[in-house]
A = this chain, B = another copy of it.
Amino acid sequence: MTTDYARLRHADLPTVRQAIRENRYTAHTAGLGAGYLQANLAILPSAYALDFMRFCQRNPKPCPLVGVSDTGNPQMFTLGRDIDIRTDVPAYNIYRNGTLNGTATDIKDLWTDDMVAFALGCSFTFEDALMRAGIPVWHIENDTTVPMFRSSIDTVPAGPFSGKMVVSMRAIPEARVGEVRDISRRFPLAHGAPVHAGDPAKIGVTDPATPDWGDPAPIPAGHVPVFWACGVTPQVALEAASPPICITHKPGHMLPTDIPEDAETPVLHPNET
């Protein structure tokens, strides 16, 4: 029996996780398990793990690392008491040799003893904080996907991982741009402060009405387009590195974790209960 978004919207975190694990819920996770960190996912063969981890360390705004599995162990024990990375994401993208090759709702048949799973912070965290401060977030209010653009900003390469930074755009009332910068800077594990506010052309975005990913969003009069480093950046770097296999979350379909959004560090200590 499948579960719909409306039923899970106010469910507690274990209920959300169980529905995802049993493939009863396979849709996007925006707003689910409120108050807890959600994470982007990248799973790689161990030969790529050190370079990918260096890539994340060198590009912390697009790739804020919040958890790394042991090689071959699907339990992400630093992110939750019972997180199995093979089943606990609603939908996965499977890349072979850098090309999207299929999707799945679990990866039990693909996980091997040689794989390492990486969890990366996502924008849900700072968007929640903006909305709590009374700042409208258009794409959420209108149930669309945030517009994303390939910018001219280079990432810092590591081994085979490189490429331009992908940025997401939110139109912010001119008077509140400074406040938005201050709020989002407080969330270094959710992309931090914007990378640019103002003229899109300055970061290589020639047509802000035509995003490379996601849906278009208006920039009303009196609003400034504000750009944040985006979690699609590692997917572009993964395509460039072209590993034989790579598994990511399907965009918007994140991993719910047991880490409170206001935790000082994204690590569940083994002594904690």
Chain B residue at minimal CB-CB distance from A53: B53
Q: Which of B50, B57, B264, B269 contacts A65 (CB 8 A)?
A: B57
Stretch in A6-14, A170-178, A185-193, A211-219 touching the partner:
A185-193
Are B156 and A59 in contact, with the CB atoms below 8 A? no
- Give the contact-size bracket for chain A: 20 to 34
Min C-beta distance of A267 to chain B, whole Å: 6
Number of copies: 2
Q: Which of B156, B264, B265 contacts A270 (CB 8 A)?
A: B156
Does any Cβ of B come within 8 Å of A249's Cβ? no
Q: Which of B50, B71, B154, B188 contacts A264 (CB 8 A)?
A: B188
Does any Cβ of B come within 8 Å of A78's Cβ? yes
With a CB–CB cut-off of 8 A, which chain B residues contact A265? 60-61, 188, 192
In the complex, A46→B67 CA distance in Å?
A: 21
In the complex, A59→B267 CA distance in Å?
A: 8
Does any Cβ of B come within 8 Å of A158's Cβ? yes
**CB neighbors of B among A218-243 (8 A):** none
Chain A residues at the B interface, C-beta cutoff of 8 Å: 46, 49-50, 53-54, 57-61, 65, 67-68, 70-71, 78, 116, 153-154, 156, 158-159, 185, 188, 192-193, 264-265, 267, 269-271
